Chains A and B, each alone.
Chain A
Amino acid sequence: TSRADGQCLACAGPTLDLESQRELLLDLAKRNILDKLHLSQRPTLSRPVSRAALRTVLQRLHGPPQGVLPEADRGQEYEIISFAQTGLSNVNQTRLDFYFSDRTAGGMEIQQASLMFFVQLPPNTTQTMKVRILVPGPHDTNLTLATQHLLEVDASGWHQLLLGPEAQAACSQRHLTLELVPEGQVAQSSVILGGAAHRPFVAARVRVGGKHRVRRR
């Protein structure tokens, strides 16, 4: 910010008293962080996350793949962990809804997305789990099946499923709906846990603002 006489603050040395300078710098730091996160104001938390769920997630978050040199115009990369909002569920299936804030008007490019969920199984049993990806029909009518995956679950604990392009497209559209349907006779006794420390979540690696490379043929 330049002063009335056109001098740039950095050239003319500190002209403010220390307290005003501190206020100015803190305000600058806030604005800098919000601008670079493409936020107009600081977020107000709609649904607090339990410390147990946070601890579970922090064990899974990892930095960018090592040795990846930052390319020019790579755009900003984010890792996003979205906890499931449990939708309509019954003993035969569990519906999970995930919401993603759009980072900028330019939209975001999902690099990779995977579902993490915790299953409690009776000892020495295996379970086939069907994971359905549902997307809104034309004109946002009710949800239709986009694709489904079968997953063999052979022990209690966390299980990961890498999500394909249909699910990634739904994440880019800011709302992803999944259905977990246990198959077979064990179905009744296997439980998909949703408690504080075992909430299912989607981990997505997202890029925003990178110039889309035109592939030359």
Chain B
Amino acid sequence: GINCQGGSRMCCRQEFFVDFREIGWHDWIIQPEGYAMNFCTGQCPLHVAGMPGIAASFHTTVFNLLKANTAAGATGGGSCCVPTTRRPLSLLYYDRDSNIVKTDIPDMVVETCGCS
């Protein structure tokens, strides 16, 4: 995956840290103090649809279709910059009965982004 740097306009991963103290949740969330949520942003022009990484074969297919159908005839649907891999977040918090709860919440941290 690609991290957003400078004026990059192509699909990339933008780092974004959520500080639980900043959102006033540090009293009920014991650990961690925050987490890197991150998000995907940027353009996905048709010639990079289905890229990068594991979708290479899919990307080749899309590319061949584009060549066969010429860009003008391509559907207007477009390709979106979306998460392609995500990690769980391990959380230790108080529930409303003041019990201490530990759990791993799946798919909370965006690791890499790609074009659908």
User: Which residues of A does B touch, CB under 8 Å?
Assistant: 8, 10-11, 13-14, 25-26, 28-30, 32-33, 36-37, 42-49, 54, 57, 61, 63-64, 76-83, 99-101
Query: Are A25 and B39 within 8 A (Cβ)?
Result: yes
The binding surface of chain B is classed by DSSP as: strand
The complex places the Cα of A54 from the Cα of B101 at a distance, in Å, of 12
Binary interface encoding of chain B residues 78-111 relative to chain A, with 1 for a CB under 8 A from any of its CBs, else 0: 1111100000011111111111111111101000
Query: Are B96 and A43 within 8 A (Cβ)?
Result: yes
Of chain B, the residue at the smallest CB distance from A27 is B23
Residues of A within 8 A of B102 (CB): 61, 78-80
The binding surface of chain A is classed by DSSP as: mixed
- B79 interface neighbour in A11, A14, A43, A63, Cβ under 8 Å: A11
The complex places the Cα of A37 from the Cα of B104 at a distance, in Å, of 10
Of chain B, the residue at the smallest CB distance from A44 is B96
User: Which residues of B does A touch, CB under 8 Å?
Assistant: 9, 16, 18, 22-23, 25, 27-28, 30, 37, 39-44, 78-82, 89-106, 108
23 A-B residue pairings within 8 Å (CB atoms)? A8-B80, A10-B41, A10-B82, A11-B43, A11-B79, A13-B9, A29-B18, A32-B108, A36-B108, A37-B91, A37-B105, A45-B27, A45-B28, A46-B98, A54-B100, A76-B104, A76-B106, A78-B103, A81-B101, A82-B97, A83-B99, A99-B99, A100-B99
Query: Are A10 and B101 within 8 A (Cβ)?
Result: no
